[in-house]
Structure 1
Amino acid sequence: MSNANSFFALPSVEKARSHGEVVASKTGLDAQLLGDAAVALHYPNSLKSPEHRNILEHELRYKWSQTWTMYLLAITSAVSAAVQGMDESTVGGASLFYIKKFGIAKDSTYNANIQGIINSIPYLGAAVFGFLAIPSNKYFGRRVTVFWASILASASGLWQAFAPSWEMLMIGRLVMGVSIGVKSATVPVYTAECVPASIRGGVVMLWQTLTAFGVFLGFAMGAAFLDAGSNNWRFMLGSVFVLPLYVCATIFFYPESPRWYIEKERYSDAFRSFQKLRKQELIAARDFYQAFSLLAIERQQQQSKMGKHWYQQVAHFFRNRRNRTGALAAGILMFAQQLCGVNVLTFYISKVLTNAGFSVRSALGGSCGFGALAFAGDLTSIPLIDRFGRRALVLVTFPLMVLFLLWIGLSFLADGDTKLGLVLSGIYIYVFIYGLGAGPVPFTYSAEAFPLYLRTQGMAFSTGVTWLFCWVFGFTLPNMERSMGDTGVFSFYAGWCALLFVLIYLFVPETKNYTLEELDAVFGMGIRKHAKLKWHQLFDRKVRCQISTEYVSSLTDDESADSYPKRF
């Protein structure tokens, strides 16, 4: 066993135990227990109790051996993402029918704009109103925020099912967008605060994994209700009503975020939450001690670096080089997630397949395969993202997406059954590749790209970027298809994927396996220096990225730049 965390390392076992006892005096918890917890965090090899040493050895060896409460909390929270995925995909099948019901099926620029805004307006709502998560999380907690956002999602499903006009349908979908924006800014944070650090990346990825499962479920609802009569589209859209009710009915059976309790100085409640989320009391006490200490450091950084006023905090977010670099890298990945062409298929795959010559029934069946492969790709990426790295996954998958987007686009130039087979096989391979890289990486990367005291603001910025461009590209797709045809649309997005590969190579550093101090150094070196070094690396394999000696020396007194890892 080695030092578990060096971010606030203490110089000796005695200092660690003393600090744990000080935290106990401030929080009203047991001094002996928190003393042992502090030693377990900083100097686990110095624990004298064989029982305590066995507990830590077991945790190290069996990191996925956790409580059912923790896993069920993560799954239940991530069901919110499945709701989002269902909304994306059900509208694709339903739009084949409601455009006729509301008289907007005629081929014209006006009707194409109406179709585009109905399909995409939830993501405009998510980008504009997602900030509501910040005050709600601050004053009411994670569970209450997820609860009321799920109520909105369920109400939106009913609203869409009974909409008497396209205008009312659009408003109902806007309400869904508010729910999506709030939950996407809350659920990953809630999960990350409740899950042990050793498995945090894989468990937080449940958000994207269940989004893909929701996409599959939405397409399945489209196929299931195809023969439900003239109002079949109402059943498709209304099927979103059910999953949010499950979240509402179960979310309060799980503990609130321990970190939120600590922020509110409800220390006993925070410790009880950790006890429910961890198998052993020592582990619960250690994680409580760590969360308490990190929050104290965060408050110091926030006051010293950002100031008390909101306008000072906004200015600091963009003025500081380290923050600008993280925001640019995360923004590029979020932008890439939307501009890689996946929304052409998520929103309009049924139309794409009918354009290729499939019947409506076959198109809806083919859509289910699209959703299943998106889900399979996300599942496959869970063990890969920590093994190979975030940057590596997107750099490998974007050239492959270029290839298969061109495959799909050029397949429309073929005839008969050949065209059907080529289009469908290209779509299936493309979406699996998307699930390996562009799907799961941006949300995971964004959670790592910002310093501790700016994590919430950084995630709000990143999710705002992805939802804004999701709306833009979803809105423009119908008119793009009218003017460019299917071959032109897929070729357009293939070109963007090629450009995005270059941007990611130059401007997105790796974050895998870095500590908080090292990430400050990685992003603190500046985006232009990173781009310059990566450019030279193309022509000279001996070139390696070097962290600025001056910057590293400002972070630590006992390590030199030469001793820092050079993994990026």
Structure 2
Amino acid sequence: MSDPKNTNDSSSTHSYPHSNVHVHNEKDVKSAEPITHHEHAPSPSPTPSPGDHVDYTPEDRDARLAARATLQNALHGISKVQLIKEADEFCDAHGLPEHKDTFRKGALLAQRPKDWNVIDELNAEEKAAIEFEHKHKWRMSRDLLWVVGACAMGAAVQGWDQTGSNGANLGFPQEFGINRGLDEPGGAHDQWILGLVNAIPYLSAPIIGCYSSDPLNNLFGRRGAIFISAIILIATPIAMAFTHTWQELLIVRIFFGIGIGLKGSTIPIFSAEVAPTVVRGALVMMWQLWTTVGIFIGFAANAIVRNSGDITWRLQIGSSFIPAVPLAIMVWFCPESPRWYMRKGRMPEAFRSMRKLRKHDVQAARDLFYAWVQWEAEKKVIGDRSMFKRFSDLFTVPRIRRATLAASVLHAGQDLCGINTIAFYSSTIFVDGGASNVDALYASLGFGALNFVFTWPAVFTIDTFGRRTLNLFFFPLMAVSLLAAGMAFYIEEQRIRTGIVALFIYIYTIFYSIGEGPIIFTYSAEVFPLAHRELGQAFPVSINYFVNFLLSLWFPFQLKQFGGPGTFGFYTGTNMVAFCLAFLFMRETKQLTLEELDQVFSVPTSVYINYQFKKWLPWAFKRYLLFNRQAKLEPLFYEDKDIKA
């Protein structure tokens, strides 16, 4: 939002229709900030909460305007006549003249999405369709369900690979001669090699895979990029099963990582762009849910082939190609992202695709027209920028920089919380805790089952409780669980020690599955503007993979050198670091359109942090520690209905 000290700037200004962006001069494009109202609308005077209007002095009002963003519809304040005219011009300009009536209704609905009952232009059938959408948000179109299924298969690939490597860690080190302990000559070398083989996909993923998503998405679309990643993820696991040295396995896993990075950067974006706002969080979160499915089935496959002799580890590590096969088939028949078509100027195809993804034409027109309004505003401010310039925007444009920071913190938090390391090495951890190899595989299967089962509650709460609330609530609980698991290693009785270690790892897994786990890919897929969405997703995902690489590389040595207590104590501390970072920089995004998130990230970081300490913490103390149900939290953002002119 505009800095108050610049509000009287006498330099020339440029305001773009529907953009919510105010630019003092062309040199200030990079620092352009969303403003709090549409250029056609009267200046708002914010109020503390719905139904609780308070009179403020002009100084109070100006101060509050400088410190708050208004979650205002991009079409706010436009007259009906003007809005219908713009809808007609949109249809004429983009080859959709036969759909003028539909887009007129869609534009009116986009302006007042919650007031469909009072829009006279909508007929009874159309009003019923909108009402059905709000009352039955899970009753989606067949094509949208197909897209969700394809994206689910892509997530399962990643989970299955982690478990395949997990089980294979009990076999391939012996076959390749890298199984010496730290107390043996060359033992430290072997532990670092083992860590490198496991971790290397998460080095090639951020360096090559994630950043290849931008040009490949640009050339082939979301579907094409996902299909390419599926082919890579079919070929490389099979090749891993036929390697004969650790060097060969290492090289194949480098290529495997490229497919992982490309898929991980594209699928959440695809999900976010096709999902309706009311269930976007839940649908994008299917990435995490089906990652847990892949983890669970992978652990089950490990247990099934446990007695296959010398080829056991080959079957375990090679089996992750299985979900990539239906991924390649399913994505071929998915509709392309309407927003990708729109970005390419192929609006008739965008509308056809959106019609497949929504149950009624007026819903499709509403969502496409609203996305186009914001896209036009972005183009006027940002222009036609190269990949390098768009990448630099992630760190130089304030609104985008804040999104980059929030998403990066959240992705790094997944590694800092320790879950990826446990997914890779749970069998090793259980063996170190006193379990046999077979018992360790079954204990890991329990870890996978809990991860899957307890992700389901997040499906139904991520769009109600919100991303930030779930994340912050469960981080401290995860830290306590890991600390208890580490302390359990001091128990001398082997059977009791194994059971207690497993118990607290299971409790930790439950907390992770409801909190941090489902949120990260949902969040980063939705917080960036359309022009920066591929690179915006790629950067935090690359951080996720790179930190995962470092921790996975170090873990075998760490566990041997510091034992269970030291290792789990380390992750207890990093959990709390992740909690603090999320508290300071993560902003809530629930039930907002992808376009409305511009206002969420318009508030300067210093203002946001100040709000957390001065408003949120005192409220949380009164509400949850003093059990004062009358305590009210002054909102940081206001909606149109909370504002009176």
Give the TM-score normalised by structure 2: 0.80
Match of 2:86 in 1: 19
Larger mean Cα displacement after TM superposition, 239-248 or 26-35: 26-35
Alpha-carbon distance, 1:419 to partner = 0.9
Could you say which residue in structure 1 is the equivalent of 2:436?
359
Look up the match of 2:300.
220
User: Aligned partners of 1:167 and 1:545: how far apart in 2?
Assistant: 58
Work out which of the residue numbers 183, 187, 201 in structure 1 matches 2:267. 187
AA in 2 matched with 1:35: R
Which one of 197, 200, 206 corresponds to residue 118 of structure 1? 197
- String of CA shifts for 1:283-329, please: whole Å, max 9, x gaps: 233333333333322322322xxx63444434433223333332222
| Matching residue of 1:277 | 357
Output the CA distance in 1 between the equivalents of 2:295 and 2:379.
40
Q: 1:461 and 1:138, CA in 2 relative to 1: closer, same or farther beyond 3 A?
A: same
Give 1:522 shift.
Answer: 4.4
Matches of 1:362 and 1:293 in 2, distance apart? 58
Name the residue aligned to 1:428: 506
What is the match of residue 43 of structure 2? none
C-alpha contact 2:611 2:636 (8 A) present in aligned 1: no
Distance (Å, rounded) in 1 between the aligned partners of 2:176 and 2:469: 46
Equivalences for residues 29-68 of structure 1 within 5 A: 29=96, 30=98, 31-43=100-112, 44=116, 45-48=118-121, 49-68=123-142
CA contact (8 A) 1:36 1:47 kept: no
Q: How many Å apart are 1:337 and its aligned residue? A: 0.7
Note the residue ranges of structure 1 that are not aligned, 5 or more in a row.
Answer: none
* Structure 2 residue 608 is matched with structure 1 residue 535: no
Per-residue CA deviations over 1:27-69 (Å, capped at 9, x if unaligned) read 2221222223223322532233222222222222222221122
Task: Give the direction of change, closer, same or farther, for the CA distance of 1:536–1:217 in structure 2 (3 Å limit).
Answer: same
Match of 2:206 among 127, 148, 151: 127
CA contact (8 A) 2:281 2:522 kept: yes
Q: 1:255-274: per-residue Cα shift (whole Å, max 9, x none)?
A: 11122222223233222222
**Alignment CA distance shift 1:387-1:495 (3 Å):** same
2:269–2:526 CA contact under 8 A, matched in 1: no
After superposition, the Cα gap between the structure-2 partners of 1:539 and 1:268, relative to the gap in structure 1 and judged at 3 Å, is closer
Task: Report the secondary structure of 1:308's partner residue.
Answer: coil
What CA deviation, in whole Å up to 9, does each residue of 1:94-147 have, x standing for no partner? 110100000000111110111001111111111111111111111111111111
Give the whole-Å Cα distance in 1 for the aligned partners of 2:614 and 2:109.
44
SS at match of 2:507: helix
The answer to whether the 8 A contact 1:63-1:199 is kept is yes
Pick the aligned partner of 1:206 from 259, 280, 286: 286
Q: Assess if the C-alpha contact under 8 Å between 1:123 and 1:177 holds in 2.
A: yes
What does residue 338 of structure 1 align with? Answer: 415
In the other structure, the counterpart of 2:227 is: 147
* Cα contact 1:133–1:182 (8 A) shared by 2: yes
Q: In structure 1, what is the equivalent of residue 447 of structure 2?
A: 370
Q: Distance in 1 between matches of 2:345 and 2:609?
A: 44
Is 2:371 the partner of 1:302? no
CA-atom RMSD in angstroms: 2.5
Q: Is the 8 A contact 1:521 1:547 kept in 2?
A: no
**2:626 alignment partner in structure 1:** none
Q: 1:192 to 1:546 in 2, by over 3 A?
A: closer
Letter in 2 for 1:229: G
Among residues 343, 362, 366, which one is paired with 1:286 in the alignment? Answer: 366
- Give identity over the alignment, percent: 34
Alignment match, 2:331: 251
Q: Which has the higher contact order (CA 8 A, sep 6+)?
A: 2
Structure 1 stretch displaced more, 122-131 or 256-265: 256-265
**In 2, distance between residues paired with 1:103 and 1:19?**
70
Decide whether aligned partners of structure 1 residues 355 and 205 sit closer, same or farther in structure 2, where only a CA change above 3 A counts.
same
Question: 1:340: Cα distance to partner?
Answer: 0.8
Give the C-alpha shift of residue 220 in structure 1.
1.0
1:499 Cα deviation from its structure 2 partner: 2.7
1:417 aligns with 2:505: no
Distance 2:562 2:509 in 1: 22
Give the deviation of 1:433 after TM superposition.
0.7
CA distance in 2, matches of 1:546, 1:238: 51
Q: What amino acid is aligned across from residue 169 of structure 2 in structure 1?
A: S
Segment drifting more, 148-157 vs 442-451: 442-451
Q: Compare 265-274 and 341-350 and name the one that shifted more.
A: 265-274
Gaps of 5+ in 2: 1-70, 182-186, 620-630
- After superposition, give the CA deviation of every residue in 1:366-390 in whole Å (9 maximum; x if it has no partner): 1111011111222111112222222
Q: 1:444 is matched with which residue?
A: 522
Instruction: Determine helix, strand or coil for the equivalent of 1:65.
Output: coil
Q: Could you tell me how far 1:447 is from its partner in structure 2? A: 2.9
Q: 1:366 to 1:386 in 2, by over 3 A?
A: same
Report the residue type matching 1:38 in the other structure.
Answer: A
Residue aligning to 1:138 = 218
In 2 relative to 1, CA 198–514 (structure 1 residues): closer, same or farther, beyond 3 Å?
closer
Whole-angstrom distance in 2 between the partners of 1:20 and 1:533: 39
| Separation of aligned partners in 1, 2:530 and 2:402 | 15
1:165 aligned to which of 213, 227, 245: 245
What TM-score do the two structures reach when normalised by structure 1?
0.91
